[in-house]
Structure 1
Amino acid sequence: MTRRKRSLSGEERTLWATVARTVAPLRPEDTVPPPPPPVVETPPSVSVAAKGTGTPAKSGKLGKAVPPPPPPLHPIERRTLTRVARGTIEIDGRIDLHGLTQLDAHDRLRGFLHDAQSRGSKLVIVITGKGKVGAEDPYGMNERGILRRRVPQWLAEPGLRNIVIGFEEAHRSHGGGGALYVRIRKKRTAHKAGGA
């Protein structure tokens, strides 16, 4: 009966290479060359087309393309805030969310910001109101001013980052802590193919 020759697994090759490095040969001419490095297989998520372009294909679950991350928010510069407070920079629009439920306020805010971007607005004011906890409600169970807290969270959502560059509390003359200045990102226009 002839014995079949078996090749070493990757783990066995690594173990053999480690042991072989620690052993001193009896005669230098008997030195055994180290085994070849293990073959690393490419993951199946990298497409053949991406290999040819030199850029790795990004994929998520089930091979779907991962969208790029939304642009980061940037604070409004102090100089710009001063100029807005003095009236040197014009405010292109405003929305007052007083008295609305969270759901209505969120929907109206999104619509307002989309419209502002479409109109080419650069700076708008969002009025949330200051809100106060009443004396009869020391634990904030019937909290007022929820929009003052929630609107900044909504403005930071990934879905609005393509519209909102940044936001800051408004100057006292524009509502102070009950309002926000919001800088609007310029709307990207689709370029025509062929440079026409």
Structure 2
Amino acid sequence: MRRPRHLSPDDKAVWDHVRAQVKPLHAQKRPKPAPDAEPEPKKVTPRPPVAPFSVGTKADITRPHDILPPLRDRLRSAPVAMDAKNFLRMKAGKLKPEGRLDLHGMYQDEAYPELIAFILNAQAAGKRLVLVITGKGRVSDGWAPEGRGVLRRHVPQWLQLQPLSPAVLEVRPAHLKHGGDGAYYVYLRRRK
């Protein structure tokens, strides 16, 4: 905000002279205030009181936050789109994957076309359950909230986008014997 300028007496006289010669463009639209009316005070909404804080006290963790749960939890809690019997067998690791794609050591720009080709070819071949291995990624060193497992985070998102979303029915973390959190089961739709 700019500080008000204080005019010298000569500048104030010039300003008053110029102001007296100016005519407003739309004089009829501006209502004239009553001479003795005071402007209404602005309504101030009271803020909720802030709890006092001192160093060493614990933070209030009872209120909800808007941070998304980890991807692993979101995938596990997603509604089931496939039949329940096969889902329970897949979740228990009893269904054997018919195809496998290992993306270890690949960059995103290498892994994305490989994933597209693999999923579409597997669906064309009539396969129903495939395993996509992303690896767990490196352990977080503090600057990334979920570690550096870039492919582990991006593969489920890629599977929900075109051209793969029409081919994919279900995406779930793999059973421990098939790679655990470092791999995904991808259950494919039947080709029409």
What TM-score do the two structures reach when normalised by structure 1? 0.51
Match of 1:121 in 2: 127
Give structure 1 regions of 4+ aligned residues with deviation exceeding 6 angstroms.
none
Match of 1:187 in 2: 191
Structure (1/2) with the larger helix percentage: 1
Conserved 8 A contact 1:85-1:173: no
Conserved 8 A contact 1:155-1:161: yes
Residues 74 and 82 of structure 1: CA distance in aligned 2, closer, same or farther (over 3 Å):
closer
Structure 2: state its 5+ residue gaps.
Answer: 1-78
Conserved 8 A contact 1:76-1:168: no
1:161 to 165, 171, 174: 165
**Code of the aligned partner of 1:179:** A
Conserved 8 A contact 1:84-1:91: no
- Using the alignment, how far apart are the partners of 2:172 and 2:92 within structure 1? 16
Conserved 8 A contact 1:76-1:167: no
1:83 to 81, 89, 104: 89
> Between the two proteins, what is the percent identity of the paired residues?
42
- Using the alignment, how far apart are the partners of 1:74 and 1:153 within structure 2? 17
Please state whether the residue corresponding to 1:158 is helix, strand or coil: coil
Please state whether the residue corresponding to 2:130 is helix, strand or coil: strand
Match of 1:151 in 2: 155
Q: Displacement, 1:78?
A: 5.7
Structure 1 residues 29-178: aligned runs within 5 Å: 75-76=81-82, 79-84=85-90, 88-134=94-140, 137-140=141-144, 144-178=148-182
Q: Displacement, 1:166?
A: 1.3
- Alpha-carbon deviations, 1:6-58, whole Å to 9, x = none? xxxxxxxxxxxxxxxxxxxxxxxxxxxxxxxxxxxxxxxxxxxxxxxxxxxxx
What TM-score do the two structures reach when normalised by structure 2? 0.52
Q: Displacement, 1:88?
A: 4.5
Residues 74 and 104 of structure 1: CA distance in aligned 2, closer, same or farther (over 3 Å):
farther
